[in-house]
Each structure stands twice: as C-alpha cells, then as structure tokens.
C-alpha cells in the first residue's frame, strides 16, 4: 500500500523543485534598482496613511467557523456516499437523521442572519 504514495512523493518533490527554482530564478535574474520612494507599498500614488494591519470584521470569522462545521459534515458524507449502495435503507435513514439535525442548525444560522453578507 505504501508504494502507492511513491508517485505522490515524487510529484511533490518535483513540483516543489519547479516552484523553488522559479522563485530563485526571478530573484537572481532581475535587476535590483531600489530607492525609498519605489519601495513603498502601492497606495494609488500616495504614501501609505493607514497601516493595513487593522482589526478585521468578525463576519470573516463567522464564515470560517461555519466552513469548518460544514467541512466536517462533508467529510462524514464522503465515506457514506462510497458505502451507500451496500448500507441500503439503513444508510439512507441514518444520513437523513444526521442531515436533519444539521439542517436545523443551518436554518438557525439562516434565520439569525449568519449567512447574510452586508
């Protein structure tokens, strides 16, 4: 079984080599002509007034939490889908119960406006 991963390992090594090679090439080949004004981060021609490192809206955080929860749900569904035809009606009922409980959660999030992006 371990031999299966040989291809993955080789491909990973080669693609890392390609990516690192590209970054190295562009660092070495290009000219280096820098002066303070040019080195400033782009701000439509102005000097940067506000640092980008401000606090972010909490709605991004909510999206990330919901993402984790539904990702875990999806991960449960994957092996179930593969086995579905062997599990039969029992499999269907247990997954409908699972989805119903999570559906209640989704409804709650929906009603409370957790899915709105304003």
Partner 1 sequence: MELLIFYPLAAFTVLLALGVVFNNSPIGSAVSLIAMMLGLSGIFIVLHAHFLAVLQIIIYAGAIMVLFMFVIMLLNLKGDDKAWKIRERNLYLSIMTGVMVLLALYKMIDKVLDTTFGEGADVPDTFGTTVAVGTSLFTEYVLPFEIASILLLAAMVGAVVLAKTKVD
Partner 2 sequence: MDLFSFTDEFLIDLGLTLLKIGFILAVTVGFFAPVLTWVERKQSAIMQDRIGANRADIMGFTALGLFHIIADALKMFAKEDFIPQGANRLLHTLSPIIALVPALLTFAVVPFGGKYELWGHQVNLVISDLDVGLLFVFAIASLATYGYVVAGWSSNNNWSLLGSMRTASQMISYEVTMGLTIIGVLMVYGTMQLDEIGAAQENFWRWGIFLQPVGFLMFLTASIAENKRIPFDNPEAESELVAGYFTEYSGLKFGMFFMAEFIEMVTIGAIVTILFFGGWHIPFIETQDIIDTFNFSWLGPSIANLITMGIQVGVFFAKVCFFIFIQMTIRWTLPRFRYDQIMKLGWKILLPLSLVNIVVTGIVIMLLK
3-state SS assignment for residue 30: coil
The interface partner of residue 112, options being partner 1, partner 2, none and the CB cut-off 5 to 8 Å by kind, is: partner 1
- Reading the block at residue 66, the tokens are 């919901």
* Residue 71 binding partner 1, by CB under 8 A: yes
- Reading the block at residue 85, the tokens are 């035809």
Task: Determine what percent of the chain falls in helix, strand and coil, rounding each to the nearest 5.
Answer: 70, 0, 30
3-state SS assignment for residue 83: helix
In the complex with partner 1, which residue's Cβ is closer, 45 or 79? 79
Residues within the interface to partner 2 (CB under 8 A): 3-8, 10-12, 14-16, 18-20, 22-23, 25-27, 29-33, 36, 39-44, 48, 50-53, 56, 60, 63-64, 66-67, 70-71, 74-75, 77-78, 81-86, 88-89, 91-92, 95-96, 99, 103, 106, 110, 115-118
């Amino acid at each position: 079984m371990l031999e299966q991963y040989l291809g993955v390992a080789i491909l990973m090594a080669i693609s890392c080599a390609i990516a690192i090679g590209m970054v190295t090439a562009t660092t070495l080949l290009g000219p280096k002509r820098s002066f303070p004004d040019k080195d400033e981060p782009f701000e439509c021609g102005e000097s940067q007034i506000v640092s980008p490192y401000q606090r972010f809206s909490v709605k991004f955080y909510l999206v990330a939490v919901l993402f984790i929860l539904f990702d875990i749900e999806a991960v449960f569904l994957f092996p179930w889908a593969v086995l579905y035809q062997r599990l039969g009606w029992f499999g269907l009922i247990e997954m409908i119960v699972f989805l119903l409980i999570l559906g209640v959660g989704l409804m709650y999030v929906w009603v409370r406006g957790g899915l709105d992006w304003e």
